[in-house]
Amino acid sequence: MTTATRPAKETKQPRQLPPPNSDFYGVYETLNAEELAILKQVRGFMESKVAPIITKYWVEDSFPFELLPAVKELNIGGLGMQGYGCRGGSLALLGFVVMEMARIDPSFATFFGVHDGLAMGSIYIDGSEEQKQKWLPPMARMEKIGCFGLTEPLVGSGTAGGLTTTAKREGDTWILNGEKKWIGNSTWCDVSIIWARDLADNQVKGFIVENKTTPGFSVEKIEHKIALKVVQNGHITLNNVRVPEANRLQSGNSFKDTARVLKMTRYAVAWMATGCAMGAYEAALQYAQTRLQFGKPIGSFQMVQDLLAKMIQNITASQCLITRMAQLQVEGKLSDAHAALAKAFATAKSRETVAWARELLGGNGISSDYKVARFFADAEALYSYEGTYQMQNLILGKAVTGLSAFV
Ligand SMILES: Cc1cc2nc3c(=O)[nH]c(=O)nc-3n(C[C@H](O)[C@H](O)[C@H](O)COP(=O)(O)OP(=O)(O)OC[C@H]3O[C@@H](n4cnc5c(N)ncnc54)[C@H](O)[C@@H]3O)c2cc1C
């Protein structure tokens, strides 16, 4: 073929690169259309309202109260809980929602998880019918926000047998004394679930405290955190706090009942940790497609692709695990050990993934001007709160060996 007969050379179009997608195995497709619509609504809120402002709040250690009206409009209070003005829906949907929140901001997911899972969950799981009817509707509408006070300055992993906060009954009143540390939302919320040891029978019991109006209840903000900086964590002091018997969680009679709440919140943290890794991966992938070195996008280098491949492997493994965990819950088979395995695995893989994302950004990976740094720091808190990695493995170790290494 001569030059004269050759067709005109096509102008080379810049190649369209695939947009970052952290749902490689299509786990979102396990939801039905109605659930997907709710998730889309949450994604829209997180991307349009939270994402543009959250780094500023994270850097300043402050909470975006300006977002509360829009959060209330989402109508997701009490997701996964039935009746009492709660949104209802499956626990799978709840998992996807908190994963979606953490994909943009793990602090925001934690704020919601503390209110919805820990505070409302305690009342839903351990409260009487009367208590549920009284407290859950305003909390579902997010008119009243809750916190959950279990950890103490001197007792964290050992809360099952070692709580030092005491509850003493005098007639129809309980008197609480002690301190609680790390309590999320406590600096500004309305309802505190406080766990204390009953001096009469030495058992852990839960109390609903209207913290803004109850004398003897004070909170100091915990400053200088390096993770989940948007969440306002407080150090609570209880000095002869008087609570009516009507506010004692009527089905919370020992730590076993506290653990029923923790099982469900560990379930949720596994989803959050996966969302945290997804957010970091998507940001890192976008960076890899646009950052040029040696005249090429760094995403074209084999060793950078290796980092991205390992990240999406971790994320996909975690997503498949937690989706199965949700099925176990539906089948009524979810055990403490199932939730512990998922919490331990997903938080450990998330921690590994965000570190690779940070590495991929080079120097920019340590600057809060790039969101990967926020995910990198936040993964540390997810790894340790709601029971550390070691404590989850001890719960799992006890289940598989039949031998307890810790109590
Ligand atoms: C950001 C953030 C938010 C939080 N929010 C809340 C909240 O809202 N409400 C609340 O009640 N608590 C909250 N916590 C507390 C959290 O749950 C505890 O920090 C956690 O359970 C660990 O307790 P600790 O920090 O006292 O560590 P410790 O129990 O002192 O543990 C220190 C280390 O020792 C290890 N360890 C302890 N015992 C054993 C053992 N038997 N075998 C092997 N290793 C062991 C642990 O794994 C850990 O590595 C929050 C914490 C953080 C950081």
pLDDT in the model for residue 12: 63
Residue of the nearest CA to atom 35 in ligand 1? Answer: 390
Rounded Cα gap, residues 103 and 114, in angstroms: 17
Locate the ligand 1 atom nearest the alpha carbon of residue 231 and give its number.
1
pLDDT in the model for residue 407: 66
pLDDT in the model for residue 15: 76
Please determine, for residue 18, whether its predicted confidence score (pLDDT) is greater than 60. yes
Confidence grade of residue 1 (pLDDT, cut at 50, 70, 90): very low
* Whole-model pTM over 0.85: yes
Distance 221 CA to ligand 1 centre (A): 18
Residue of the nearest CA to atom 31 in ligand 1? Answer: 157
pLDDT, one tens digit per residue, over 90-107 is 999 999 999 999 999 999
Share of the chain above pLDDT 90, in %: 95
pLDDT in the model for residue 13: 65
Residue of the nearest CA to atom 30 in ligand 1? Answer: 156
Please determine, for residue 6, whether its predicted confidence score (pLDDT) is greater than 60. no
pLDDT in the model for residue 31: 97
Query: For the stretch 338-355, what's the b/e string if a residue is b when 16 or more beta carbons lie within 10 angstroms of its beta carbon?
Result: bbbbbbbbbbbbbbebbb
- What is the mean pLDDT of the segment spanning 196-216? 97
pLDDT, one tens digit per residue, over 343-384 is 999 999 999 999 999 999 999 999 999 999 999 999 999 999
Confidence grade of residue 406 (pLDDT, cut at 50, 70, 90): confident
Locate the ligand 1 atom nearest the alpha carbon of residue 405 and give its number.
41
Contact 145, 161 (CB under 8 A): no
Q: Which residues are within 8 A (CB) of 173 and not within 5 positions of it... i.e. 6 or more apart?
A: 242, 243, 244, 245
Locate the ligand 1 atom nearest the alpha carbon of residue 389 and give its number.
47
- What is the mean pLDDT of the segment spanning 264-286? 98
- What is the mean pLDDT of the segment spanning 143-152? 98
In terms of C-beta density within 10 A (0-12 exposed, 13-18 middle, 19 or more buried), how is residue 52 classed? exposed
Average pLDDT, the chain: 96
H-only helix segments in 331-386: 336-360, 372-384
Distance 358 CA to ligand 1 centre (A): 25
